[in-house]
Structures are given as structure tokens and as C-alpha cells.
Chain A
Amino acid sequence: MKFARGFKTHCERAVTVLRAELEVDDEAPIDMHSLATHLYIPVHSLATLLITSGHSRSHPKVDEIYCKVSALTVFDGTFRTIIYNDEHPSTRHRSNMAHELAHALLQHPPRDSGLAAHQEEMHEAEAGWMGGVLMLTAGQARRIAGSRMNRTAAETQYQLSPEMLRFRLNVTGAARLAFM
């Protein structure tokens, strides 16, 4: 999917501003829960909702929800609340959160707000891209490649899954610099 001209650059700039606001070190990952707090977006785990609802984790319907949901945004007007699956591994959880927070930063409306299918698809693609930048900026990807850091060390330092690291190194062009 082709993004609007300047979109990728805008994402990098917006995340640079965000990182400065959060006072995150250049070589450190963003804590997605801190970012949500920074944006005044409440975050709840499925486990918390289960306790509130009084349902059992072993109920088949609950199990189905845990299987299907990574993270989602609930709207009350323009006010967003993020619900996340607390049983996902930490790297996937960060990625899920980054995706929902990217939707928030780009102020995408809820899915059922009457947009055309291609606009919905574009919003998903944009959130996917910006979520990736929140996980690892182009600058960080280039530094990983330039310093010849091995993949495991990079995954640990930036709290990334192997798939996300590979994706970001590829799409930023950093992979061409790497000798890993």
C-alpha cells in the first residue's frame, strides 16, 4: 500500500518529538504504557476486565476472546481506552500497544464510522508503519546496522521480536548496511 507523500518522514519526526517528551534515551525502547499515560489514554488488560465482570478465565467464550484479541481501542466519543491481551509475550504486547497508540496519534476514527474500505485499509497500514517507528526508529535501525550489533543483542536492547527487528531493518534500508 502506497502512503501519502511525506508520511514516513512525518512518522519519524513525530516519534522523535514523542521520545524527547518522554525523555527516552536514544538507545532505549519506548515504554508503551508510559506513552499511553503521556497521551492520557487509559489502558486495561483483559484480566482486569475479567475480574470486573466476574467471569472465569476458563469459560470457552473468554478463551475465544483471548485467542482473538491482541489489543483494541474502545471509543466513548473521541475518548479512547486501550484493552490488551495480557497473555501475549512482552515483545508482542509492545507491538500490539504500539499499533493502537499509532492509531491514536494519527487520530484515526473508530472502524464503524462510515469510512470506505480502502480508507480503513490505509489507516491499518499507517498504524502498522507508525507502530513500527514507535518500536524502532530509522535512526536506531541504522545504528544497529552500523555498529554491527548482533540480532539477539538488538532484540534484547530494543525489546523487539525477531520478526519486528527484521522488518524494521529491511524497510529502513538498514539491513543493507548490516553485516549480521
Chain B
Amino acid sequence: MSNKQEFDAGGFYSALERSVRDRKVTWKEVSIDTSVSQTTLTRMGQGRQPDAASLAALSAWAGINPANYVPRLLPRNTGEQTLEKVALLFRQDSQLSDDARRKLEAIVESAYKALKVEAPKGT
């Protein structure tokens, strides 16, 4: 079995894109800072997996752990655990007031409950 199929390239690219937005930099700057070619970056936007060296450079640049994008290696959470983890991240965020944190938690919980897929019975 190919290892490439086990890497969530789309998820990794989304995280990288968020980092680019948050830092207010251009992809050109990402390419220069990481020495990852624009071909590789463009292909990643098309859902392709980067080579190992590019993945390492981009992970280091963005502070992303690529292991988090190998679904097989991640422990499966229940819904409650997911919401608890998200709530913990909001509590740790110094940019959020208590009121803002509570509102965000309510929004996420509501959206999560509306969008989650019920597990089939017996699993």
C-alpha cells in the first residue's frame, strides 16, 4: 500500500493556507522563505501531496505537525471529546474574552451537532 494515500494533503494545505492568511504574507514569500517551488505550492492547491523535503520545510515554516494529517495515526475522538478539545483551545487563546469564548463555544457546539454524522448502530 502506498503511504501517499494515507496523508491528508488537502487538510495540510488548508492549515498552511490559514497560516499564510494569518501572517499576511503572499505565497511568493512562502516560496522564497521555504525554497519550495511555486510549482509544488500550486500543485498542493490542486490536492497533490508535496515531496518529503517540501513537506518538512513548509511544516517548519508554518509550525504545523504533519503527523496530524495522517488520519491512521490519529486517535479517534467521540463528539464530546472533540468539543472539549476545541473549548480548551478557546480557553487558552489570550485574544478571546470570557464572553467571546462562551459565544464561540456555543456556535461551534451548535454547528457540530447540526453537521455531525451519526455513527451506525452497533459500532
Contact = CB atoms under 8 A, between A and B. Distances in A.
B37 A107 contact: no
Interface of B: 10, 13-14, 17, 26-28, 31-32, 37-39, 41-43, 45-48
A10 B47 contact: no
A18 interface: yes
Contact of B38 (A14, A77, A78): A14
Contacts of A106: 26-28, 38
Interface residues of A, number: 19
A43 interface: no
Contacts of A4: 26
B39 to A, nearest CB: 6
Interface of A: 4, 7, 10, 14, 17-18, 21, 38-41, 77-80, 104-107
A125 to B, nearest CB: 13
A105 B46 CA distance: 11
Contacts of B47: 40, 79
Contacts of B46: 39-41, 78-80
